[in-house]
Copies of this chain bind each other. A is one copy, B any other.
Amino acid sequence: SKFEYVKKFEHSNPLLPSTYMVVRIDGRGFTNFTNLHNFEKPNDIRGLQLMNKCAKEVMKSFTEIIIAYGDSDEYSFAFKKSANVFNRREDKILSCVLSLFSTSYVFFWSKYFGDTNTGGQKLLKVPSFDARIVLYPSLEDLQNYLSWRQVDCHINNQYNTCFWTIVQKGGLSTEQAQKRLKGTLTKDKNEILFSEFGINYNTIDEIFKRGSIWIRMISKKEMKQQKSRKPQEIKEQIQQRNQSEQINLEEEKKNGDSDVQDLKGDIIDMSLDVMTSALKISKKELLLVHDDLVEKPAFYEKYELIKKLK
Contact = CB atoms under 8 A, between A and B. Distances in A.
Interface of A: 1, 3-11, 14, 16-19, 28, 57, 91-92, 94-96, 98-100, 102-107, 123, 126-138, 141, 144-145, 147-148, 151-152
A69 to B, nearest CB: 13
Nearest to A137: B137
14 contacts: A6-B134, A10-B134, A11-B14, A11-B16, A16-B16, A91-B132, A92-B130, A95-B98, A96-B128, A98-B99, A99-B129, A102-B103, A104-B126, A106-B107
A141 B2 CA distance: 12
Contacts of A19: 16, 19, 137
Contacts of A138: 18, 137-138
Nearest to A131: B95
Contacts of A151: 1, 3
Contacts of A123: 107
A233 B32 CA distance: 45
Nearest to A130: B95
Contact of A91 (B7, B28, B131, B135): B131
Nearest to A154: B1
A30 to B, nearest CB: 12
A99 B96 contact: no
A176 to B, nearest CB: 28
A14 B94 CA distance: 16
Contacts of A106: 103, 106-107
B136 A6 contact: yes
B96 A28 contact: yes
B57 A126 contact: yes
Contact of A3 (B104, B131, B132, B145): B145
A44 B187 CA distance: 61
Given A1-B152, A19-B137, A138-B138, 4 more contacts: A3-B147, A9-B18, A11-B134, A137-B137
Contacts of A133: 91
A106 B106 CA distance: 6
Contact of A99 (B9, B10, B14, B131): B131
A26 to B, nearest CB: 9
A137 B18 contact: yes
Contacts of A128: 96, 99-100, 102-103
Contacts of A7: 148
B17 A8 contact: yes
